[in-house]
Amino acid sequence: MSCKKDNEGEGGPHHTELYGSTPKTSLPIVYHSDYNITFMGLEKLHPFDAGKWGKVIHFLKEEQFITDENIVEAREASEQDLLVTHTKRYLNRLKWSLVVATITEIPPLIFLPNFLVQRKVLKPLRTQTGGTIMAGKLAVERGWAINVGGGFHHCSGDRGGSFCAYFLFERVEGISTATIIDLDAHQGNGHERDFLDDQRVFIMDMYNRHIYPRDAYAKRAIKRRVELDWGTEDSEYLQKVELHCDGALNEVRPDVIVYNAGTDILDGDPLGGLSISPHGIVKRDELVFRAARRRGIPILMVTSGGYQKKTARIIADSILNLHHQGLIGPEREGLSSAATSPTSGPGSSGSALTAI
């Protein structure tokens, strides 16, 4: 892919600390307290709830579904990890607070020294990225995984990144194709630009056609495009989710599903423009997991967008429903039909894919 030209010739697959061993007693639910962005109240200047991930975990603990001991702690992605998909030029640009302020849409960051921006803003995002990479491997090994963060689908190789699929192709034997099911309210133009000419990746994207980013160039990468109108409600929405998820997975059987489960489709979301109820979101996630389970395809879920305080409770309720329906939990692990052994070293067969 053109977004990686800056890094061509820099060597084969690197050593990563993101694929450490995980106890079998752990659920493949990935989280770290560093996901949450809190610094002098600046996070309140963006509509996104920058602490929602910790709230999800709190609710799941309250329901006694998880403990600190039975979930997987995410690790921060290193610069070498990020270079699997990002250009060096892009990572260098993040050393300027002005650039970070523009990307995050928090203008006061301009006035902060970059070492603080790195520690308080970018480290949480790098840790969520590491969590997605870790959850991708766990999904292949165990049949499912959830990163309680992640889902940065507006980013691309020279602006942000589709990290998970790159790492799966590079590091996990038997993974050569992936389907991205993106059900965030916004078009996922970042991963679409990254995988525009990549036949290994099938993208289904269902979004509000009238809102950001309306990226016509990126739409060329979407193999199954479902455009919604303002105020779409549960009945129509869920019918389309079921129809098109089944259609996408019947058209191409992937080795893994990456599911972008944005909650900005919720009625009243200031940016999503749709009218889906909390029950509709819970049912949507159930439909996607059922479609994966029927076919024995590993699935990784990331939580993506959602700009209301109540979305954390809805995400937790959805995860609990998946468990109650028997779609996740210890009894669902080991159902993957894909090979699950990580490649053995830095000279493994994925080397040509690091410079995509």
Q: List, by residue number, the catalytic residues.
A: 154
Q: Name residue, tokens 């990746």.
A: 201
> In 323-354, which positions are buried (b, 16+ CB within 10 angstroms) versus exposed (e)?
beeebbeeebbeebebebebbeeeeeebeebb
